[in-house]
Structure 1
Amino acid sequence: MHGLSTSMVLIALLAIAAPLAARFLDRVVKVPIVVFEIVLGIMLGPSLLGWIQPAEFTDTLADFGLAMLFFVAGNEIDFALIRGRPANRASAGWVISLAAGIGAGLLLAPTPEAAVIIGVALCSTALGTLLPILRDAGESKSPIGIAVTALGAVGEFGPLIAISLFFSGRQLGPATAVLLGFVLLTGLAIYLASRARHSLLHSQVTRTLHTSGQFAVRSIIFILTVLVVLSMVLGLDMLLGAFAAGVLWKVAIARAPEQDRKVIEAKIDAIAFGFLVPVFFIDTGIDFDLRALTASPAALALFPMFLLLLLIIRGLPSLLAAPPKSSPADKRAIILFGATGLPIIVAVTGIGRDEGLISGGIASALVGAGMLSVLLFPLLALRQHQRRPSGTPARQNESP
């Protein structure tokens, strides 16, 4: 108990230290906060100082953080913005990435199951990580922001479908039937939510928005819990339920007063990015097996190879979603944004490691490549996007 108490205090301290470190370096280089959270977790975890040890309680909190990250992603996607060309082209690019990723996995992995894990990891895009970065940079509604949102939506939802199909413990046919059942059920719930007026829900939300009742927050937790538990009971990945819960809540609250929705969004951000999501990223650093990576020359060689494969397998097909008449710099930014992946990589390698399908070295190399992609690619992408030919307006790519 004493060790857990110390770990919890240190994790809370790291959650405070990460944004302070990001702000300290902001004038020199803009580094996403999640990078500091992961690096600090590695530093204080068993891989280096050993001040924080993995514990079941913190792992459970981290699972809640990962689920909340996908809830936020589902809640923040504006499907009206990405439908049509952005979504269609992003989907085509993802199918290419999945095929190329599994092909690369067959060359690198000893078994077909391990190849699928590598392929699913390499075709992911970290939408939940990219959305705050785009929002902070004021690019969430620009053409490139819309393209990246489409890439991220497909790059998170697609791998979740693949995980549920290939790693549910069922044959492909029954797994597909169960998945379709879940999709139809949640789709029906979303459709009904979009058609209903929700007068009682909205009035109760407004009445308790600034009281201890907090009906909106309690409703969010209820919807999230129900769909996560439902997905787990059906043998699907819990993140599929979390993503669907975010979409369902967005639809249910869409007709509420705008001021109420803004307050609720602030509360969601507070729960997610003020508490649960930092625990997930810090715990990712704590659980990162640096020894497994450095002890094997083969695993160490896979680390930069996986980073390069993210650019090739996920980044290059992302060009299909580039806005029309994009500049070469913006196309390079699209490649870098599309190749940014971590949460799905952590989830699928965790499944592979727990099932004994991949070694600790391969898992660490994949997660390490994902962490480095979050560190480097968004930063480089924003720099590419901000590069303009002399004499052109700074905001020429934004929607009027």
Structure 2
Amino acid sequence: MEFIGTLCLILIATTIGGHLSSRFNLPAVIGELLVGVLLGPALLNWIQQTNFVHFFAEIGVVILMFIAGLESDLSLLRRYIKPSIYVAVLGMLFPIGITYLIGRYFQFSQLESLFLGVTFAATSVSISVVVLQEMKKLDSKEGTIILGAAVVDDILAVIVLSCLISFSGNQIEDTSSNQSMIVSLLLQVGYFGLLFILGRWVIPTIMKFSERLLVPTSETLISLVICLGLSYLADIVGLSTVIGAFFAGIAIGQTDYKKAIDHSIEPIGYAIFIPVFFVSIGLNMTLTGIITDFWLFFILSIGGILSKLLGAGLGAKIVDFSWESSLLIGSGMVSRGEMALIIAQLGVQSKLLSTDRYSAVIGAIIMTTFAAPFLLRGLISKDKPKEELR
């Protein structure tokens, strides 16, 4: 029963950390992330990245993105699909190019450098979602583009990563890997087709049927089944689980049950699972590897932040957003979070990333994740007085 004590410690620590962050006018998520660093291997080593923490964190990020989907404005998502694509594409090209050059400077091989670029091209907006919720900006045009671009970014990252692994020397001894990549891409296209059908016709019918079930909170129960089911299917076809959760939220958000489900799901997520997710990110940081490879860690952190900020921001500016909005969108795309951590782990397994440099890369990923809430909070606070005057 040791896991119960671990969960109790995480919940107490994240409550205190979130409270102190809010007292200092910082996003509560910063305190929760720092709890992971403080209690994890980097400092006190009271909590390790166990299966229990991993599973709770997975559920946490799924619920978080489900809530983001519920609170998204579908009409805005449709309206801003073109800007979202520009933001996602340039928000990938800049990090790939800049971190590739950083890798070459630190004597990575060409393949390792390219993989490093792909790692830092990935975006995880789960952290940004929390800050945008806190600042009442999640359903703004900037928040909508950040969410839309994150979905496009996720798809592109999976495609590029699949190609890179398939064409790496240790993976293509025959044509079977190329064939499996094509099958995987076809499955992913089919998944999005299925999402459209389910969201348009099936899910609204299921939600109406849930009212007739003679069990407590039946609508909430069925919405969770839909969320977890679509997340699982996304994972099976090689996509991120958060894509399924996000689109499940969007589909249910178009029904009459949106407010009731949002009201029921938020306590479940924010009381237990989401704090564990934030702590799990901090648990990945170790100081030994960072100190050994400090300059790689430092330059990758700066390059990771600036490349996404400039690339995604330029994508927004090209489609006629103001500089303030473009910077806000770029800031929302800075966080790499769990997506980059997963890709880095795949890189080690596929021998595309040296284990000697792993800690420095992980440290830089976490630094970009820490930076995103500060950038977002600062830019939103700066714009607020202007909005209040209108």
TM-score of Structure 1 vs Structure 2, range by shorter chain: 0.7 to 0.9
- Determine if contact 2:284/2:362 at 8 Å carries over to the other structure: no
Three-state SS of the structure 1 residue aligned to 2:357 is helix
The whole-number CA distance in structure 2 between the counterparts of 1:163 and 1:8 is 37
Out of 369, 372, 377, the position equivalent to 1:377 is 372
Q: For residue 228 of structure 2, what is the aligned residue in structure 1?
A: 224
Q: Does 1:173 align with 2:178?
A: yes
Query: Does 1:267 find its partner at 2:264?
Result: yes
Shift of 1:135: 1.7
Deviation, 1:222, is 5.4
1: CA distance, partners of 2:389 / 2:179: 50
Taking the aligned partners of 1:164 and 1:75, their CA distance within structure 2 comes to 30
Aligned to 1:340: 335
The structural deviation recorded for 1:346 is 1.4
Q: Give the conservation status (yes or no) of the 8 Å contact 1:64–1:276.
A: yes
Does structure 2 conserve the Cα–Cα contact (< 8 Å) formed by 1:127 and 1:155?
no
Give 1:306 shift. 1.4
Contact 1:15 / 1:37 at 8 angstroms: preserved in 2?
Answer: no
8 Å contact from structure 1 (residues 6, 52) kept in 2: no
**Of the candidates 6, 24, 27, which is equivalent to residue 28 of structure 1?**
24
Assess, with a 3 A threshold, how the Cα gap between structure 1 residues 255 and 31 changes in structure 2: closer, same or farther.
closer
Q: Structure 2: 5+ residue runs without aligned partners?
A: none
Q: State the match for 1:256 in structure 2.
A: 255
Which shows bigger deviation, 340-349 or 380-389?
380-389
Give the alignment partner of residue 364 of structure 1, picking from 359, 367, 375.
359
**Are the aligned partners of 1:87 and 1:150 in contact in 2 as well (CA < 8 Å)?**
yes
Instruction: Give the 5 Å matches for 1:1-400.
Output: 5-6=1-2, 8-33=4-29, 35-72=30-67, 77-82=72-77, 83-97=80-94, 99-101=96-98, 103-104=100-101, 106-107=103-104, 108=106, 110-167=108-165, 173-196=178-201, 200-208=205-213, 211-212=215-216, 214=218, 216-218=220-222, 220-221=224-225, 224-225=228-229, 227-228=231-232, 231-232=235-236, 236-237=238-239, 239=240, 241-248=241-248, 250-251=250-251, 253-257=252-256, 260-294=257-291, 296=292, 299-319=293-313, 320-322=315-317, 324=320, 326-327=322-323, 329-360=324-355, 362-387=357-382, 392-394=386-388
| Distance (whole Å) between structure 2 residues aligned to residue 88 and residue 226 of structure 1 | 23
Letter in 2 for 1:118: L
The answer (yes or no) to whether the contact 2:230–2:248 under 8 Å persists in 1 is: no
Q: Offset at 1:314?
A: 1.4
- The whole-number CA distance in structure 1 between the counterparts of 2:139 and 2:229 is 30
1:227 and 1:242 in contact (8 A); partners too: yes
SS at 2:41 equivalent = coil
Residue 26 of structure 1: SS of its match in structure 2?
helix
Q: How does the TM-score come out when normalised to structure 1?
A: 0.79
User: Against the structure 1 CA distance between its residues 268 and 112, is the aligned structure 2 distance closer, same or farther, given a 3 Å change threshold?
Assistant: farther
Give the Cα separation in 1 of the matches to 2:2 and 2:107.
Answer: 39
Counterpart residue identity of residue 293, structure 1? I
SS of residue in 2 equivalent to 1:270? helix
Q: Determine the C-alpha separation between the residues in 2 that align with 1:246 and 1:324.
A: 27
| Superposition deviation, residue 11 in structure 1 | 3.5
Classify the secondary structure of the residue corresponding to 1:394. helix
Moved more, 280-289 or 345-354: 280-289
Paired residue type of 1:310: G
Q: Name the SS for the 1:196 alignment partner.
A: helix
Deviation, 1:98, is 5.5
Shift of 1:386: 3.2
Q: Percent identity?
A: 18
The alignment yields a C-alpha RMSD, in angstroms, of 3.4
CA contact (8 A) 2:301 2:368 kept: yes
- Residues 285-312 of structure 1: CA distance to partner in whole angstroms, max 9, x if unpaired? 3343322222x2xx21122211211233
For the residues of structure 2 that align with 1:272 and 1:178, how far apart are their CA atoms? 35
Residue 184 of structure 1: CA displacement? 2.9
Paired residue type of 1:31: P
Q: For each residue in 1:187-220, what CA deviation from the matched residue of structure 2 results, as whole angstroms up to 9, or x when unmatched? A: 22223224426565123333459x4363543453
Deviation, structure 1 residue 16? 3.4
Q: Secondary structure at the match of 2:159?
A: helix
Distance (Å, rounded) in 2 between the aligned partners of 1:12 and 1:95: 39
- How many Å separate the matches in 2 of 1:389 and 1:244? 33
Give the Cα–Cα distance (whole angstroms) in 2 for the partners of residues 213 and 393 of structure 1: 39
* Cα distance in structure 1, aligned partners of 2:66 and 2:122: 17
Unaligned runs of 5+ residues in structure 1 are none
State the TM-score, normalizing by the size of structure 2.
0.81
Q: 1:105 to 1:115 in 2, by over 3 A?
A: farther
Q: Distance in 2 between matches of 1:346 and 1:395?
A: 42
